[in-house]
Structure 1
Amino acid sequence: MSKRIYYTLLLVWIACLSLYFIWQIWDIYWVVKTCLSILIVLSCGFLWYQNQFWFKKKDLTSLHNIPKSQRVVLVAGDDLSDWIESSERWRLLRDSMWIRVEDCAQLISIYQALDEQNTIANGILLILNPDKYPHVAALQQRISQWRQQIETIQALYKRRIPLTLGVHTDLLDKNLDFWPQNITNHLCRQRSEVQEYFECLQKQLDSYAALNPQQPEHISYTVASTLYLNQQWLIQYVIKNLLPEKPYPYSLYLVACVWLNSFNSNQNADWRKFEIETTGLVTPTHTHNVTGLKNFPVIENNFVRQRYLSKGAKYLCYGINWFLLFCLIGTGYSFVENKKWLQEVIVAHQQYIAIPKHLENERQDSIKSLKLIQQTLQDYMTFGEPQKMGFGLYHTTHLIPLINKDINTFQLEKQKKQIIRLDTTALFDVGQSKLKADAKLVLQGVLTWVQANPNKRVLIDGHTDNTGNTASNKTLSFSRAEAVRDWLVNASTFPEDHFTVQGYGDSKPIATNDNPQGRSKNRRVEITLVDMNHTD
C-alpha cells in the first residue's frame, strides 16, 4: 500500500470515528452536532487536499539532481508498474533515466520541473495496452489526450520531442520480451510515412520468421502473424488519432514503434475481435506470471540527445545568428559590388582594345576612361577599398598592371607617331589633286617641322569623304598625297624615299559622313613622323 492511500484511509477513519462519537456518544444539541460534523468533514477534506498537494510536490522535487550525463526518457501510458515500481517516480539504468508519467495532465508539470533544472527530456515512450480497452473509441480518446499534451509542450518550449509508440500486448512467446530487438529510427510526421515504416518492419519480420529455429533472432510464424495483424489494426484505428494526413507545426514526431510482451491476453478487447474477424482463429486465453520489473526496449539511441540552453545562451545564439546573417548580407552585397566594379574595369579594357588605331578620337576618349579607372584603383590600393567592397572580396588590384599597360602603350604610340592633319580645302580645289598657289603657306610649317626631325621618316596619307565612288576616291587621295610629297622633296634636301605615300580614300573616316561638318573633317591629308625602325 502506498503512503498516499494510507493517509487517505487514515483521514476517512478519523472522520468516521469522530462522527460516530458526536452522534452516538456525545449528548449535546443536534445543532451543535451538525456544526461539529460539518467542521470535521471540511477539516478532513482540507487535510486530504494538502496531502495530495504535498505528494505531488514531493513527486516533482524527486526529479531534482538528475545527472547531466543521463538520457532522460518519459514513460507514459498504460501498465507503467510493469517497468517502474508504483512507489517510485523514476528508474535509473546504466546510461538513461526513465521517468514515470501516470496521467497526461502530469506531463506538462513534469516537463516544466525538468526545464527548471536545465534538463531536457530526450523522448517519450507512450505505452498502450489494446487488451485493456473493450471499445476502440476509449483507446482513441486516450491517444488524442496524450497527443494534445505533447503538441502543447512542443509549442510552449519550441522543442521537438521524439515519440516511440509501445504496444503492450501478448506476443504468444514467453521468451520474447519485446520486438523488434534492434529498433531503427524512422521519422514519421504523417500517416503515409507510418505505412512505409510498417512495410519495412514487415520485411524484417518475414526475414526473422524464415530463419532456422535454432538461431536467436528466429520468431515463430504465429508471432509474426500476430504482429502483422496488430500493425494493420494500428493503421486502421490508432494512427489516424496520432498523426495527421499532412504535418503541421508542432505535430508529433513518431520515430519508432515497439511491441512489448504482456504475457496475457483479453479476448473481449476490440483488438482481439479484429484479429478474430480477420483470421477466423481464436487465440487461447492464458496468463503468464512475470516476477520483477520488465526490461525496457532499447530505444535510447533513437532519441537524439538534446542539450539544454539557458536564456543567456539562447540570447547569445540569437546574437550570433543575427551577426552571421549580417555578415552574409554584407558579403553578398560586397560580392555584387565587386563583381560590378570588376566588369566595369574589364569592359573598359576590352573597349579600348577593340578600337582601330586610326580612330584617334575614340582611342583618346577610351584612354581618358582608363586613366580615371587607374586613379581609382591606385586610391583603393593606397587608402583601402570602400566598405561596400570589403569582407575580403576585393580582388581588382591584379588588374592595375593591365590598365597601366594600355595607357603606356597608347602614350608610346603617341610619342612614336606625331601627326599633323591638313584640311584639303586649303590645299586643293574640289576634285583636284594639284596644289593651290597659296598651299605653300600651309606646307611651309610642315616643312619646318619635318626639317626639325631629320631622323624620323615621314608618312603622308590621303583621305576623302564618301562622295563619289570608292575607286576614284582612293585614286584622288593617293594623288593628293603624292602632290604634298613632291612639294616637300623639292623644298628640302630629303630624298624621295624619306617619304612614304598612301591613299586610303574614304576607308578611314574620323567623323561621320552624314553631315557637311563630318565630311569636311574626313577630307584631309595626314603627315606623320615616325621612328626609322617603326613599321606601320
Structure 2
Amino acid sequence: MRDVYRSLLTTLSGILCLWLILGFWPLSVGSRITLSLLVLLVCGALLWRQRTLSLSREEALRDIQDDSLPPEDFQGAVVLACGDNAALFATENRHRETRQGWYLRVKDAEQLPLLVQHLSLVRPALVSQISVLLAVLPESHLSADAFAQQLRGWQRAVVQCRSTLGSLPPLWTVSWISPPAASADPEPVWFTTVSTRSGIQVHQPGQGNLSLSEWTRETDAAGRLSRLSQALWLDSFLAWQASAVDSLLSVRQSELPAMKPCAQGICMLPVSGAEGNLWQQHIAAITALEPEQSRSEGEPLPLPELLLSALPRHRGISRRMVFWRHIGLIGGVFLVLAMLASFINNQRLIQSVGDHLALYHSLKGEPYQPKLRAQQRLRADGALLDDWLRRGEPVRYRLGLYQGLRLIPPVEAALSDWAPPPPPPPVIKKIVQGPKTVRLDSMSLFDSGKYDLKPGSTKLLVNSLVGIKAKPGWLIVVAGHTDNTGNPGLNQTLSQKRAEAVRDWMRDTGDVPESCFAVQGYGESRPIATNETPEGRALNRRVEISLVPQANACQIPGKPQTPSQDDDVVQNKMEK
C-alpha cells in the first residue's frame, strides 16, 4: 500500500504539471511539447526509482515480515529490541506482543536503520511510538573488547536512525543478571531508574514499587539477609554497568554523539550463560558470592513492561493522513501556480486589447485603410470576448481572475463611433452569355445500339432546343457520349453517329448552314456519373448541345457577317 500511495502521488503530480503546461501557462507550442516530454520522463524515472528502491528494501528486510509488525492503530509502545535480544524471543518468533508494547527483534546493527525506515513508510502513525531497547546480558559475553565493539555498532545504528526520524529515538537499557546463590526470592526482581531524583525503584510481584531502602527493610529477619545480598549484588552490577556500558554511551566520539538512556532497568533472575563470562569475571574479582543456577535456555526472559510508562509518548500520524497531507500540499502548489498563470493570461489579454484600442483611437481615418484594419482587429477581439461571454471563457483565464467582461464596453463603443466611407459603385459591363448546355438522353432518342432517331423524338428535340439558335459568331457543338458497356471503339463510333443524326435533324429542320455545326463523338471517355450502377450508366448515355463563341462561325453563303453589339462584347471578352 505504501508503494501504491507513492505511485499515486507521483502520477498525480505529473498530471497536474501537464495540466499547468498545457492548460494554463502561456507558452509556445514547442515549449509545451518540450516541457510535457520532460515531465513524462521525470515521472517515469521517479516511478522506476521507487520500484527499484522497493525491491532493494524488500531484499534488505527479507527477515522482517509485515505480519510481525504492529497494526497501524496500535496504541502501545513499539520497542526495537537490540543488543543481546536472542534470549527475549522464542526461536521462531520475531516479535512479542503485550498489553502495553510490541517488541520487534532486530537481527543486527545494520538492520536497525532499515527497519526504522521501513516502519516509517508502512506504519507512519507509529513512528512517534518507536523506542530502542538495548538489551544487555553480561553472562553471554566472554570478551570485554568484543562487547564494547558490539555496543559501538549498536550506537552507530541508533545514530543512523536520525535521518529517518528527524531526531535520535528514545534509548533505554535493560540488563538481566543471575542473582546470588544466597537469594531466597523465587520471583524475578526488577530494579529500575527513571530519573536521578526518584532514585532506584524496586518492583516485585505483589508488592508494587518501593525504594531500595524500603525494600531492604520490609521483610523478616530471615529474608533481610537475602535482600541485603541482592543489594550488594546490585551495587556490584551498577559498578560494572557504569564502566562497561554507560561510559561508552555517555562519552562523545568523533562520529557518535553522547547518548543518555531515558530509563534503565535491571532484572535479577537465573540467566543461561557461558562459563567464565564477563559477569562471573567481575564477581570473582570483587566478592566470593556465586551466581544462581542458570535457567532453561528455551524459556524467554521476562520483558520490562514496567518501564514502558516512562518512555516519551507523542501522537503519531497515520499513512493515510500523510497521504492526504501530501495531496493537499500538491493541490495547494498547483492552485497557486494556476492562479499565477491565470493572472498573467488576463494581464496579457488586457494589454493586447488595450493596444488595439490605443492604435484605433490614434488613427484619424484619412486615409481610411489603416483605421479600417485596426477596426477589424477590434471586431475580432469583440467577437472573441462575446463568444467567451456566451460559452464561457477558457480555463486558463478562470479561477476568479477573468477580466474580459470589463473589456467588452470600451470595444463596443469604439466600434460604433466610426465607419469607413462607402466604396464607389461598381462598373457593370454587359456580357452576353450563351445558353446553358442542353443534355439529351440517348435512350429517349435512339434504340439501344442504334443511331437512327426514334419515331416521335421530334417533339422532344423541339422542346429541348428552343434556346439553341444559329447566329453568326457562334458555333453549335453537338457531342455524343456512351457508357462503358461494350467495345470502346464501337462506343466511340456510335456516339459520333448519334451526334451526326441530331446535327442532321437540326440542320434540315431549321435550314441552318453546315458551317454552324461541329460534331464530336467521345464514346465512354467523358462520364458524368459512375458506370457501376444502372442509374449512372443511363446518365452517361447522352447527347450534349451547346453554343460556343467562335469568329467566322455560322456564315450564310453569299452574305457578309454583320457583327452586332453583343458579338463585339463577346469578341472583346475572348481577346482578353
Q: Which category of TM-score, normalised to the shorter sequence, fits these structures?
A: 0.3 to 0.5
Give the TM-score, by structure 2 length: 0.39
Which structure has the bigger radius of gyration?
A: 2
